[in-house]
Amino acid sequence: MDNSSLAFMHELSQRSYPSDGILSVYDLILIPKWVMEEIEDSTYRSTYVEQLQAQGYPIRWIDETKYGAFVNDEDVNLYYIVEAAVSRVSELMRFLRRKVKTEDLIDLPSAEEWMNRLYDEWPIHGRTLSTGRTLKKNAGEISLTILAEIFAWYHDGVDSLTIYTQDTDAHEFQTNAERILTGNSEFTPALDSPISVAFKSNDFILCQMYREGALTLDAVRQLRHDDRKLTYTRQQADKSIICRKEVITKEQFIDLIQDATVQILF
């Protein structure tokens, strides 16, 4: 789960809309440490995480420098996962190739060392907050992608692997990483093919809660604040399925979620 989704879940709770039907189905909810740093920029969000944990939700934060343990300490494969995850960001690719990658990947420094260096020397900076912390652009989305690919390629006991995010970059990073890893003959993970990774955006959650009777249409109107891009499918009269990606207004969204032939993807 990323910062944008947690902020949305917090808004739902502030408006007294239950999130039990959304989060209670999971045995484990992981938040990467890089994302937790963003969450802790807000007292309200960090307190909300503590409240969810106190209520018994299995939320755990995970340190990126420990990711190696989840790939059986196969550091070369972890490098390939990280490289695939950052492949759409030229600054991060240059950093890996200049400061991490070795001629023979077997000679890489420990994963803990170079993952820590990657974050400490993050080459893309965002705005500086009032706290003095400078945001590390795309760090959260990259970390979520790495974590998703680790579980997708190494843990076949997972029934549902879902990324909660409103950020389209996270979706693009993950789908691109999976494509690269699938075509990399030198990448030798535990599984021959990855577990599918699903996504739940804020719009997906709104649709789910409306269709399950947890939200009224008026509540959806209050919670969907702006026009934004939506990816969805619709069944046509001949039973064929079309996929659309377009900017949808609030009222168009209201019409879509009432249509049983429509499925929100992202």
- Does 243 lie in the same domain as 189? no
- Does 254 lie in the same domain as 126? no
- Does 173 lie in the same domain as 80? yes
Matching residue, tokens 């026009």: 227
Dihedral sign of CA atoms 77, 81, 84, 90 in order: negative
pLDDT recorded at residue 94: 93
- E strand or H helix at 109: none
- Does 137 lie in the same domain as 250? no
What gap in Å lies between CA 9 and CA 195, rounded to an integer?
Answer: 26
**Contact in structure between 31 and 1 (CB atoms under 8 Å):** yes
Domain boundary among the residues 152, 169, 200 is at 200
DSSP 129: P
CA angle 229, 235, 238 (to 5 degrees): 145
Q: For the chain, where are the alpha helices, taking DSSP H only?
A: 3-14, 20-23, 33-39, 43-54, 75-85, 90-99, 111-120, 139-154, 168-182, 202-211, 217-223, 250-257
- Does 208 lie in the same domain as 196? no
- Does 216 lie in the same domain as 165? no
Cα first-last separation, the chain: 15
Domain boundary among the residues 200, 217, 252 is at 200
CA angle 5, 89, 246 (to 5 degrees): 55
pLDDT recorded at residue 208: 92
- Does 110 lie in the same domain as 235? no
- Does 196 lie in the same domain as 240? no
pLDDT recorded at residue 128: 81
- Does 66 lie in the same domain as 106? yes
DSSP 103: S
Count of domains for the chain: 2
DSSP string, 177-227: HHHHHHT-TT---SSSSPPPEEEE-HHHHHHHHHHTTSS-HHHHHHH--S-
Q: In what order do the strands lie in the sheet with 228-235?
A: 241-248, 228-235, 262-264
**Contact in structure between 17 and 214 (CB atoms under 8 Å):** yes
pLDDT recorded at residue 20: 64
- Does 226 lie in the same domain as 151? no
- Does 177 lie in the same domain as 242? no
Domain boundary among the residues 200, 215, 233 is at 200
- Does 231 lie in the same domain as 135? no
Mean pLDDT of residues grouped by 10 in the chain (266 residues)? 87 80 87 87 87 90 90 94 94 92 89 89 81 81 94 90 90 94 94 92 93 92 91 93 94 95 93
Q: Structural domain of residue 257, as residue ranges?
A: 203-264
